């Protein structure tokens, strides 16, 4: 199936990139007056090349060392590269640097054009081909075809077209289904239409009249409407991955938008000033030190960054490390997105790599569990990436929608992976619907909840249970939905025992001092003797003396131990009396009769003062059912 691809040039200044593109496409990519006056490419230019049913959006980049930042912006989204080396000059500094940048940006295929071959003899041409073969050895161009060409005479152009078409037929794409993204590389005004922005579509697709998110370096995001779309000079209803696009944005002032901004599907990307990355220091560079200040090139953005190396003190030349980038401005990115790191002055490339966390919090250096997770993250499959992204999201959890960028998966993949991981007990859904946290995070919070409840038990040894809000307050640094979910789970697994809105550790028993036990025994015995006319708790205040403040707790302990039964706040029955109560109630309702409070009073040999709360207690525990002023025995009892 014919597809659209982005083809980018690369190479040293004055090696004939722009002339070669013009010879292939008929388009002069030097559109700026200054470029034509000086005879050098300063900014990126664009053309279209159709070969065998395939369409290549050609991006021509500048080769001068002063304009490498423009080259990197243009190289965003390249599917294949055309490395240009002049036969008269051979390999030059920007030839090497451009090749390294292309590799860092994830370009995997390409062709090499030896230009100006009409200006050298056969021996020199052969020597240049050997130089190029040595240059590309071990790179993504290792097996690339090297085509001698001349834009002046037309030599080799047919062979170059054939080589590009062959590579295009072999290209594959594994990012179908991702949401729309376009990194803006140019903005201008079109009379009668307003502001138009251009860029390579990095992922997904967008249609006319859709609403997209406009992300800016100050961290703000605005919803904007796509009034019209243009693809290589033609009005279209839709643009998709691999195409160059011009997007008309009504109502957007020209001076408000510039290179480095991005358009994306609404809700897909999150502006951030901290990225977690896997970084490789350039093999020919000075290495990357911890706390180094550098320039981050991500998409078309160019922003100052401070590098925090997580698992070492520095990245030596050619070495991979895990790092965080702390940025002066906000950027948007997705898992796996390539980036380039250059010196603050822009003189040389320091390295590059891939984004692991597109919206990260600050991580502690050499934190073992996080470093291990990040190491796995770089090479994990989609399901494991979802699991690791959820773990790295922390206690607040993550939604399936957020996994699209955080784990580099499609919406369908995210839903499937979340369901699978939830079934295997690796993810836990929070009470905040649609958010999930990792099982390991839950395990850690479980330990904190149990420790907190144990601390409350230790501080209040006579209180058999504690209000959930007291536990949540003690763990105020954790998200409340997570704590609530953990408490529910501990109750479900019987590690906490529920008591209405209160809980206790399943292994906890209230502890009484010697004097408190003596007082408890006096209270229990008094209730045994009193039968259905028990004393009120406050009547023991004088007997309790200094223990009076703990009377309520002592009653609570006696009930927990099964010695007393709480009928109401003022009425407690001895356990034996409560058992006798059950027998008398069933006798009272023999033959299906009903009974009034007076009947209960007479059957129990007590007064209305005690009969009424006892009747209400029987209703509450489901032994009787009230109908007006009469009660009957509940069915099934």
Q: What is the pLDDT of residues 104-123, one digit of tens each?
A: 998 999 999 999 999 999 99
**115 class by beta-carbon count within 10 Å (0-12 exposed, 13-18 middle, 19+ buried):** buried
CA distance 38 to 342: 27
Percent of the chain exceeding pLDDT 90 equals: 58
All structural domains of the chain, each given as residue ranges with its CATH number in brackets, are: 4-170 (3.40.50.300), 181-265 (2.40.30.10)
Residue 39 pLDDT class (50, 70, 90 cuts): low
What is the rounded distance in angstroms from the CA atom of residue 24 to the CA atom of residue 47? Answer: 10
Q: What is the pLDDT of residue 2?
A: 56
Work out the burial of residue 121: count CB atoms within 10 Å of its CB; fewer than 13 is exposed, 13-18 middle, 19 or more buried.
exposed
Residue 562: predicted pLDDT: 80
Tens digits of residue pLDDT in 296-341: 999 999 999 999 999 888 999 999 999 999 999 999 999 999 999 9
According to DSSP, residue 154 is labeled: -
Buried b / exposed e along 233-262 (16+ C-beta atoms within 10 A): eeebeebbbbbbbbbbbeebeeeebebbbb
- Burial environment of residue 279 by CB neighbours within 10 A (0 to 12, 13 to 18, 19 or more): buried
pLDDT at 100 over 60: yes
What is residue 636's predicted lDDT score, i.e. its pLDDT?
Answer: 67
DSSP 261: B
Q: In this predicted structure, what is the pLDDT of residue 379?
A: 78
What pLDDT, on a 0 to 100 scale, did the predictor assign at position 175? 67
- Both structure tokens of 621: 């525990």
Retrieve residue 575's tokens.
């356990």
Sequence-distant (≥ 6) Cβ neighbours of residue 455 within 8 angstroms: 474
How high does pLDDT run on average in the chain? Answer: 89
pLDDT tens profile 120-173: 999 999 999 999 999 999 999 999 999 999 999 999 999 999 999 999 999 887
Assign 575 a pLDDT band (cuts: 50, 70, 90). very high
Contact 528, 572 (CB under 8 A): no
User: Would you say 572 and 566 are in contact if contact means Cβ atoms under 8 Å apart?
Assistant: yes
Position 558 pLDDT exceeds 60: yes
DSSP per position, 454-523: HHHHHH-TT---EEHHHHHHHTTTS-HHHHHHHHHHHHHTTSEEEETTEEEETT------HHHHHHHHHH
What angle do the packed helices 411-423 and 382-392 form, to 10 degrees? 70
**CA 308, chain centre distance (Å):** 20
pLDDT at 549 over 90: no
- 115 phi and psi, to 5 degrees? -90, 170
CA 361 to chain centre: 11
Rounded CA gap, 536 and 172, in Å? 83
Q: How far apart are CA 288 and CA 538, in angstroms?
A: 75
> Does the pLDDT of residue 480 top 90, yes or no?
no
Q: Stretch 64-73: mean pLDDT, rounded?
A: 70
E-strand ranges in 512-552 read none
Contact 482, 397 (CB under 8 A): yes
How many of the other CB atoms lie within 10 Å of CB of 154?
A: 11
Nearest CA to 94 out of 348, 340, 342 is that of 348
Q: Are 478 and 395 in contact (CB under 8 A)?
A: yes
Q: pLDDT tens digit string along 405-435?
A: 999 999 999 999 999 998 998 998 887 668 8
Contact between 173 and 3 under an 8 Å Cβ cutoff? The reply is yes
Please report which confidence band the pLDDT of residue 177 belongs to, taking 50, 70 and 90 as the band edges.
confident
Instruction: Give the residue-averaged pLDDT of 233-238.
Output: 92
Pick the residue with more confidence: 394 or 80? 80
Q: How far apart are CA 438 and CA 388, in angstroms?
A: 8
Q: Helix, strand or coil for residue 312?
A: coil
Distance CA 126, CA 114 (A): 10
Strands 262-265 and 221-225: unpaired
pLDDT of residue 314: 92
Cβ atoms within 10 Å of 603's Cβ, excluding its own: 17
146: which strand partners?
112
CB 95 within 8 A of CB 21: no
**Residue 609 parent element (H or E):** helix 608-620
- Are 230 and 246 a contacting pair, CB within 8 Å? yes
Q: What is the predicted pLDDT for the residue at 288?
A: 95
pLDDT of 29 > 70? The answer is: no
> What gap in Å lies between CA 177 and CA 385, rounded to an integer?
17
The CA-based angle 75-77-81, given to 5 degrees, is 60
When pLDDT is cut at 50, 70 and 90, the band that residue 564 belongs to is: very high
Average pLDDT over residues 584-594: 86
Nearest to residue 31, comparing CAs of 229, 184, 22, 235?
Answer: 22
Residues 6+ apart with CB under 8 A from 232: 46, 48, 55, 57, 244
Is residue 449 a contact partner of residue 399, using CB atoms and an 8 Å limit?
Answer: no
In degrees and rounded to multiples of 5, residue 297 shows phi and psi of -110, 115
| CA atoms of 53 and 230, how far apart (whole Å) | 19
- What is the dihedral angle through the alpha carbons of 38, 40, 41, 46, rounded to the nearest 10 degrees? 90
Res 40 pLDDT > 70: no
* pLDDT at res. 32: 55
């Amino acid at each position: 199936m014919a597809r659209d691809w982005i083809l980018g040039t690369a190479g040293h200044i004055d090696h004939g990139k722009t002339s070669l593109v013009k010879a292939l496409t008929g388009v002069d990519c030097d559109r700026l007056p200054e470029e034509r006056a000086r005879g050098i490419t300063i900014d990126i230019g664009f053309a279209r090349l159709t070969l065998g049913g395939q369409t290549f959006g050609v991006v021509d980049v500048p080769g001068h060392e002063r304009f490498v930042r423009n080259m990197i912006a243009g190289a965003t989204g390249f599917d294949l590269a055309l490395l240009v080396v002049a036969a008269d000059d051979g390999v030059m500094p920007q030839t090497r640097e451009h090749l390294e940048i292309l590799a860092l940006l994830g370009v995997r295929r390409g062709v090499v054009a030896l230009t100006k071959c009409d200006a050298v003899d056969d021996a020199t041409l052969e020597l240049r081909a050997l130089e190029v073969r040595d240059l590309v050895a071990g790179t993504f161009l290792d097996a690339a075809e090297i085509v001698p060409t001349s834009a002046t005479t037309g030599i080799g152009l047919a062979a170059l077209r054939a080589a590009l078409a062959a590579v295009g037929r072999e290209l594959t794409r594994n990012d179908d289904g991702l949401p729309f993204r376009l990194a803006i590389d140019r903005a201008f005004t079109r009379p009668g239409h307003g502001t138009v922005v251009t860029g390579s579509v990095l992922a997904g697709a967008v249609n006319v009249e859709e609403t997209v998110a406009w992300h800016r370096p100050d961290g703000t995001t605005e919803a904007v409407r796509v009034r019209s779309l243009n693809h290589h000079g033609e009005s279209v209803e839709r643009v998709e991955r691999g195409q160059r696009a011009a997007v008309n944005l009504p109502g957007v002032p020209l001076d408000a938008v510039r290179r480095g901004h991005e358009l994306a599907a609404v809700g897909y990307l999150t502006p951030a000033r901290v990225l977690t990355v896997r970084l490789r220091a350039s093999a020919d560079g000075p290495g990357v030190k911890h706390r180094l200040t550098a320039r981050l090139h991500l998409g078309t953005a160019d922003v100052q960054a401070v590098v925090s190396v997580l698992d070492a003190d520095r990245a030596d030349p050619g070495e991979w490390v895990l790092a965080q980038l702390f940025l002066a401005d906000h950027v948007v990115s997705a898992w796996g997105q390539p980036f380039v790191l250059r010196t603050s002055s822009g003189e040389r490339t320091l390295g590059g790599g891939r984004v692991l966390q597109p919206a990260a919090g600050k991580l502690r250096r050499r934190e073992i569990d996080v470093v291990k997770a990040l190491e796995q993250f770089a090479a994990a499959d989609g399901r494991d990436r979802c699991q690791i992204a959820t773990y790295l999201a922390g206690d607040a959890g993550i939604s399936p929608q957020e996994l699209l960028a955080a784990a580099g998966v499609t919406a369908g993949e995210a839903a499937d992976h979340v369901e699978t991981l939830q079934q295997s007990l690796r993810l836990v859904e929070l009470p905040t619907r649609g958010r999930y946290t990792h099982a390991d995070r839950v395990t850690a919070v479980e330990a904190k909840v149990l420790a907190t409840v144990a601390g409350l038990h230790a501080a209040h040894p006579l209180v058999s249970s504690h209000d959930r809000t007291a536990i949540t307050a003690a763990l105020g640094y954790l998200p409340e939905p997570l704590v609530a979910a953990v408490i529910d789970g501990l109750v479900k697994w019987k590690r906490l025992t529920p008591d209405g809105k209160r809980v206790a550790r399943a292994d906890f028993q209230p502890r009484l001092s010697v004097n408190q036990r003596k007082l408890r025994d006096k209270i229990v015995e008094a209730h045994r003797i009193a039968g259905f006319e028990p004393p009120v708790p406050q009547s023991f205040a004088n007997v309790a003396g200094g223990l009076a403040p703990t009377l309520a707790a002592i009653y609570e302990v006696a009930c927990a131990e099964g010695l007393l039964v709480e009928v109401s706040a003022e009425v407690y029955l001895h356990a034996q009396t409560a058992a006798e109560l059950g027998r008398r109630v069933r006798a009272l309702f023999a033959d299906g009769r009903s009974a009034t409070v007076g009947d209960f009073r007479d059957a129990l040999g007590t007064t209305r003062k005690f009969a009424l709360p006892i009747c209400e207690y029987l209703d509450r525990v489901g032994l009787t059912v009230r109908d007006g002023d009469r009660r009957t025995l509940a069915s099934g009892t």
